[in-house]
Structure 1
Amino acid sequence: MILTPDPTPKPLDHLAECGEGDAPALVLREETLSYKDLRSRVAALASWLKQQVPGEGERVASWAAKGVLTCLLPLACARAGLVHVPVNPLLKHAQVAHILSDSGAKMLMGTAARLKTLEPGDVPDCCATIDEDAVWEAVGEHDSALGLSDASPDNLAAILYTSGSTGRPKGVMLSHANMWLGAVSVSDYLGLAADDVTLAVLPLSFDYGQNQLLSTWYAGGSVVPLDYLFPKDVAKACAKHKVTTLAAVPPLWVQLTEIEWPPEAVASMRRMTNSGGALTEELVRDLRAIFPQSRLFPMYGLTEAFRSTYLDPELVDSHPTSMGTAIPFAEILVIDDQGNVAEPDEEGELVHCGPLVAQGYWQDPERTAERFKPAPGASEYGGMAVWSGDRVKRDINGLLYFVGRRDAMIKSAGNRISPQEIEDAARATGLVAEAVALGVKDDRLGHAVHLVVRRMQGAENAEEMLPKALKHELPNFMLPQVIHWRETLPLNPNGKLDRTAIAREIGS
């Protein structure tokens, strides 16, 4: 029997009901919303959205920094019977155009400055655009409220776009149940409570970032959203708001260990959580030295299944490289190449089963079939499972250890990056004939993006022009740190670019 907290999911908007009325729910720069305020704002925004986009299950996108709109939209869309599509604010017009077209969004809400960067043809004819200030003006004039949703927990609630190892970003379909149970699970194993204060520094377009809000609200705590410029901004916010819970990815943790922390920021910190890449033993030691009283939760996650494992803080010092064990509502199996459960210390594929498994990729049955397959016969949950492509081992004590990825995904600064997306952008400039993007191990980033290219015949000043062209088309986190120019690129026996040889040559 798999031990879980309460497994009964509700419609996602019911999270607004979890906290006490006068308790702070959302602490913004210009205002603080109590749970009573949260409920009234969600009800008003949901009512306006339903009037603007009346079709059940229609998609509504947001492209803005953290603020009251981006924080409330997950609940408001759910209440209005709509599907929220949060777009990473770091993305640029080409990626946004793909997401709008692929999702079939009927509305895009964003900051005015971002909306102005969109080019002709980026926004489908069926998609209205409106800046976030105008949204709240319209909501105020609308003067109506929408009651709690009675939607089925299996209904689609959000589409989160994530890079794959090939092609453009794909939309992961998350139900109300996926997101509700994710909030319950994390709140349970972190031990969140109503007096907790979470500093939300991760993008709300990530499942890990969005769960900062949802798990804290499930516990009745308060969230402080922060878009920071410098690591010291994080420490200052922790001191100012007496933050108890901080989530980050390894590159940010590295930066945070290199600054001075005010005693009041350290004193309030109860727990720190990590995902998006493994913590090094050195980084664990540094965090321990700064936050000796805090509990450190290393975690491993998949957008396709929200989160899979966490390591008990009591085991971090003795097993610093372990991924830990399954989170509540997750069943994690290690399956060998013959399709059987792997023996202890035998390598196999990590397969995630249970109610956190997403509903597949939006309008992409081919890629859905590659990743979402029937659960192995040994599964207690059964149903569909996510076959991760990640190779892991489980030791005799049940602790999991990461071995490697089967695909070419680059993980840099906590971002999953598609090599093909970078390569396509490079070739589209007309400056290069061939391109291969690879991740090279980097102490600060996890992996640095390297781009190996062959110049297009007749392309003058390509070395100077390519970085500028890529900067216009790609978000900063996708830009290559190093571009290697070659007269020829090696081919494999099938006549394709030999990625293994190229990777070996540049030390990837």
Structure 2
Amino acid sequence: MWLLDSQPCPIDHVCRAGTAEAPALQGRFGTLTYADLDAAVGRLAAWLGAQIHEPGGRVASWMGKTRLACLMPLACARAGMVHVPVNPLLKHAQVAHILADSGAAILIGTGARLDTLDPDNIPQGCALVREDVLEAAMASANDSLPPSAADPDTLAAILYTSGSTGQPKGVMLSHANLWLGAVAVAQYLRLTPDDRTLCVLPFSFDYGQNQLFSTWAAGACAMPLDYLTPRDVIKAVDRYDITTLAGVPPLWVQLVEQQWPPEIAAKLRRLTNSGGALTRPLVERLGALFPQADLYPMYGLTEAFRSTYLDPALVDTHPDSMGKAIPFAEILVVQPDGRVTDDDEPGELVHCGPLVAQGYWRDPERTAERFRPAPVASTYGGIAVWSGDTVRRDAEGLLYFVSRDDAMIKSAGNRISPTEIEEVAVQAPNIAEAIAIGVPDERLGAAICLLLRQRETSDAGEAEHMIKTHLRAELPNFMQPGYIRFVDQFPRNPNGKIDRVKLAREFTP
């Protein structure tokens, strides 16, 4: 079976994996067969090629889960361009940073989104293209490009992910990274052409984007959905006879609280989770609600796509485990000197192999910190991703998460930079200092707590109203703090820096 072939291809070939007349994409826009998908990708690629004549030009897209959003990553690859998907929840400041940092030649988005951008913050040479205008142009286009013949190591996408400090950084992914990620997931999920995947995660995330690629690699059908309520997900599972659903813990918490008619719940064959660990009670509730569905807990890094998954057969007996390496990944647990740890000895998770990304876009310093030579014990060698996460491996080879060493806040499946929130908060009137920390939350994994010091003491209620108004205007919903507290002073360490560790230890909502 071709899925077991590890030889990477240009990623746009994935839209030719299914039978020509089989459905590949379905939604409010109708149904596209694999032949339709390939033809649409070819037309969009030709349009992109006519706009950008420089190989490797960056094309940014800022839209919901529309037909065009599904075509864009494959069309950019076929045209020899680099796709830069922008989270549709981001607002003007974050979008402006991504455009400037990536050097995007085009930003494609809905008119409503494009209208929110300050013209002064749009980089020179970046053209804004309305999604509906491009759809109309494609409908009347005759030109088409054939499948790409690019070297699999050619850069195909830049996915922006928040760092523990500063602005989001762009992770560089090759055709091979994307192709092998699609093949690996299709293989271990045991997807078949009869499967139908409901795509509810944002396509700007590697987990969300892979919903499309792995489904197409198996010759199956993808159904993108921008949902407003959990009930929308249930309705879509019923309407489209969904067999596969990917989510993050907060979504599963919402879904298990709903009333699922047994005949609809029975349609799901597999559930996949990443972006945070599932709690034991949640695993039990999912098992009770979807007894016929296999549950796949997974652990991933944008810098290497995905590292591990837990076989569904082991979920009941090892509910806290991250599992073992996915196909094409080599996972080592090592000490600082590179020595592989003994059983149950904590160490850093290091990901080796062909899923490792090409580094951070135009950021050699941070690339050198995270992408370093693989440990001597690696069978792949080359450059590996040193995750910064502490894990342990038991005698059976199963991995268990111990701690995250950086300052990232992982909330509702999002990796959030506290610095990004703080930089926006101190722009508000009368705010002298701001510190964002994560505090345990049963539904979100971690809730954002924003601690503030005012320049001049003012009414707490009025001050909180002002800062909330400011944050709502400048930050997306998933970055909004769950708690806001005002303090007189922040504790500091011997170096004069605010002591985040002490704050996180002492603060309770």
**1:491 alignment counterpart:** 492
Q: Take 1:372 and 1:500, find their aligned partners in 2: how far apart are those partners?
A: 26
How many Å apart are 1:122 and its aligned residue? Answer: 2.5
Q: Secondary structure at the match of 2:406?
A: coil
In structure 1, distance between residues paired with 2:38 and 2:338: 48
- 1:463 corresponding residue in structure 2: 464
* Aligned partners of 2:198 and 2:223 also within 8 Å: yes
Check the 8 A contact 2:338/2:376 in 1, yes or no: no
Q: Is the 8 A contact 2:11 2:176 kept in 1?
A: yes
Percent of pairs with identical residues: 63
Q: Residues of 1 paired with 2:393 and 2:430: CA distance?
A: 47
Q: Tell me the residue number matched to 2:364.
A: 365
- CA shift for structure 1 position 143: 1.9
Match of 1:324 in 2: 323
- Shift of residue 463 of structure 1? 2.6
Q: Which moved more, 1:299-308 or 1:497-506?
A: 497-506
Which residue pairs with 2:299 in the alignment? Answer: 300
Normalising by structure 2, we get a TM-score of 0.98
Determine helix, strand or coil for the equivalent of 1:69. helix
Aligned residue for 2:120, secondary structure, equals coil
What TM-score, normalized to structure 1? 0.98
Cα deviation, residue 337, structure 1: 3.0
Q: Deviations over 1:282-334 (max 9, x none)?
A: 00000000110110000000000000000000000000000000000000000
Which residue is equivalent to 1:256?
255
Does the 8 Å CA contact 1:437/1:450 hold for their aligned counterparts?
Answer: yes
Q: For residues 169 and 117 of structure 1, what CA distance do their matches in structure 2 show?
A: 20
SS in structure 1 at match of 2:337: coil
Contact 2:356 2:384 in 1 (8 A): yes
The Cα offsets for residues 217-255 of structure 1, whole Å up to 9 and x where unpaired, read as: 000000000010000110111011111100000000000
- Deviation at residue 458 of structure 1 after TM alignment: 7.2
Structure 2 residues not aligned, in runs of 5+: none
The residue number in structure 2 matching 1:172 is 171
Equivalence for 2:351: 352
Q: Does the 8 Å contact 1:46/1:76 carry over to 2?
A: yes
1:470 is aligned with what amino acid?
A: L
| 2:334 paired residue number | 335
Distance (Å, rounded) in 2 between the aligned partners of 1:254 and 1:449: 18
Q: CA deviation at 1:203?
A: 0.3
Give the letter aligned to residue 485 of structure 2. Answer: H
Query: Is 2:103 aligned against 1:89?
Result: no
Rounded Cα–Cα distance in structure 2 between residues aligned with 1:126 and 1:457: 43
Matches within 5 A, 1:2-81: 5-81=4-80
8 Å contact kept, 1:322–1:399: yes
Which stretch shows the higher mean deviation, 431-440 or 457-466? 457-466
Paired amino acid for 2:150: A
Gaps of 5+ in 1: none
C-alpha distance in 2 between matches for 1:305 and 1:430: 41
Give the CA deviation at 1:30: 2.7
Per the TM alignment, residue 182 of structure 1 is displaced from its structure 2 partner at its CA by 0.1
Query: Which stretches of structure 1, 4 residues or longer, exceed 6 Å deviation after superposition?
Result: none
Q: CA deviation at 1:493?
A: 1.6
- Partners in 1 of 2:370 and 2:164 — Cα distance? 12
Counterpart Cα distance in 2 of 1:77 and 1:231:
33
Question: Does the alignment pair 1:503 with 2:504?
Answer: yes
CA distance in 2, matches of 1:338, 1:507: 37
Following the alignment from structure 2 to structure 1, what is the Cα–Cα distance between the partners of residues 216 and 162? Answer: 28
**Count, aligned residues:** 505
The answer on whether the counterparts of 1:235 and 1:262 sit within 8 Å (CA) in structure 2 is: no
What amino acid maps onto 1:392 in structure 2?
Answer: V
Query: 1:47·1:145 contact (CA, 8 Å) conserved in 2?
Result: yes
| 1:408–1:419 Cα contact (<8 Å) kept | yes
SS of equivalent to 1:133: helix
Q: In 1, distance between residues paired with 2:289 and 2:457?
A: 55
CA–CA separation in structure 1 for the residues paired with 2:445 and 2:291: 25
1:190 CA drift (Å): 0.3
Asked if 1:438 is matched to 2:424, the reply is no
Match for 1:425: what amino acid? V
Q: How many angstroms apart in 2 are the aligned matches of 1:455 and 1:8?
A: 58
Alignment of 1:90-105 (within 5 A): 90-105=89-104
Name 2:446's counterpart in structure 1.
Answer: 447
Quote the residue 1:313 is aligned against: 312
Q: Quick one: distance in 2 between partners of 1:161 and 1:77? A: 17
- State the distance in 2 between where 1:350 and 1:431 align: 43
For residues 174 and 30 of structure 1, the distance between their equivalents in structure 2, rounded to whole angstroms, comes to: 29
Check the 8 A contact 1:74/1:84 in 2, yes or no.
yes
Q: What SS does structure 2 have at the residue aligned with 1:303?
A: coil
Quick one: which amino acid aligns to residue 307 of structure 1? Answer: R
Q: 1: distance between equivalents of 2:45 and 2:261?
A: 40
- Distance in 1 (CA, whole Å) between partners of 2:59 and 2:263 is 40
Name the counterpart of 2:474: 473
Q: Judging changes above 3 Å, is the alpha-carbon distance between structure 1 residues 324 and 345 closer, same or farther for their aligned structure 2 residues?
A: same
**Alignment-mate amino acid for residue 359 of structure 1:** Q
Confirm whether residue 400 of structure 1 aligns to residue 421 of structure 2. Answer: no
Conserved in 2, the CA contact under 8 Å of 1:431 and 1:466?
no
Deviations 1:133-176 (A, max 9, x none): 10012223432111111000000000000001011000000000
Distance in 1, matches of 2:124 and 2:458, equals 36
Contact 1:198 1:244 in 2 (8 A): yes
Q: CA deviation at 1:263?
A: 2.5
Letter matched to residue 230 of structure 2? P
* Pairing of 1:371-386 with structure 2 (within 5 A): 371-386=370-385
Going from structure 1 to structure 2, the CA distance change for 1:135 and 1:249 (only over 3 Å counts) comes to same
| 3-state SS in 2 of match to 1:142 | coil
Aligned to 1:284: 283
Q: What secondary structure sits across from 1:216 in the alignment? A: helix
Amino acid at match of 1:409: M
Number of the residue aligned with 1:416: 415
Distance 1:259 1:135 in 2: 39
